[in-house]
Amino acid sequence: MKHHEIDQYAKQSPLCNFDPRVKIASTVIFIISIALLRELTPLIISLLFLLLIVAASRIPPIHIVKSYVLALPFAVFASLTMWYSSGSEEAAAMFLRITDSVLALILLVSTTPFFEFLKALRWFKVPAIIISLLLFTYRFIFVFIDELERMKLAREARGFNGGKSLLNVEALRTIAYTAGMVLVRSHSRANNIYSALLSRGYTGEVRTLSHLRAKPRDAVFAAAFIGMSLMSLFIQAGVIIWTL
């Protein structure tokens, strides 16, 4: 599988041993506090805090940069228009706010295996149908990506070059047929997979061998993130006077 690297770091980083519930809750609180920040000082301190954690997490920087680039179009566009309409300080705050929250989210997603997420989400009372759907979908995605890669290779071998514009009917037809074929193949696969599941006693409940247990170090994790969030908000409110 070509895309196996998607949650590769989720199993190597020292951060992956923390309880996923604690990680999700702390990150959510942290990102909410970032969303409330308008001043530069707390945003810069939060950024330094995150960079420190990133360094400790031992996630390869290239992986972080790749995920960060996904959010860049919105961040750049929004900051530029903000510069024009509100001024440079608001623009910088906007850019830092997006950067901080994107970094925090990347930290969370690249150090938490997807199945840990599902367990935590179940604990947070997300409906069972959504959890099993997430589980199945996640599993099937990799199968289809492989399928798609094979079809892409075959397409290119026959001379397909992606087309140049929306007016290229042939290119659009090929793309649509590829997408349609992914769906047809997946549909016939669904029945097989479902029969296989039934024959192993699947009833719709997902059971795992390991159970979630919060440890003292999870309290340290939560304290660091929530402490940082509170500090940022206090700095903004003027309770803590900070001179850089």
Partner 1 sequence: MHIPDGLMAPEILAIGWMIALAVIAFSVFKVNKKIDEKTVPLMAILAAGIFVAQMLNFPIFGGTTGHLVGAALAAVLVGPYAAVIILTVILVIQCFVFGDGGLTALGLNLTNMAVIGTFVAWGTYKLFPEKLEKVGVVAAAWASVFVAAFACALELAASFSISSGAYGIEAAISLPSMLGYHAVIGIGEGIITGAIFLYLTKVAPEIIKTRKPTEEVTT
- Listed residue (20, 13, 15, 222) closest to 117, CA to CA: 20
Residue 138 or 224 with smaller CB distance to partner 1: 138
The answer to the question of residue 243 lying near partner 1 (CB under 8 A) is: no
Closer residue to partner 1 (CB): 193 or 240: 193
Query: Given candidates 168, 224, 226, 240, which one binds partner 1 under the rule CB under 8 A?
Result: 168
- State the nearest-atom distance from the C-beta of 65 to partner 1, in Å: 12
* Among 25, 71, 212, 240, interactor with partner 1 by CB under 8 A: 71
Encode 34-63: b = buried (16+ Cβ within 10 Å), e = exposed. beebebeebbebbbebbeebbeebebeeee
Tokens of 115: 């199945």
> Does residue 171 belong to the site contacting partner 1 (CB under 8 A)?
yes
Q: Does 45 bind partner 1 (CB under 8 A)?
A: no
Shorter beta-carbon distance to partner 1: residue 35 or 223: 35
Stretch that binds partner 1, among 49-57, 87-95, 209-217, 225-233 (CB under 8 A): 87-95
- Told to check if 67 binds partner 1 by CB under 8 A, we report yes
- Using CB under 8 A as the binding rule, the residues of this chain from 101 to 140 that contact partner 1 are 101-102, 104-106, 108-110, 112, 114, 117, 127, 129-130, 132-140
User: Rounded to the nearest whole angstrom, what is the least distance from the CB of residue 161 to partner 1 in the complex?
Assistant: 10
Question: Which range touches partner 1 (CB under 8 A), out of 91-99, 208-216, 219-227, 236-244?
Answer: 91-99
Query: Binding string, 177-196, against partner 1, x = CB under 8 A?
Result: xxxxxxxx-xx-xx--xx--
Please tell me the count of residues contacting partner 1 according to CB under 8 A.
85
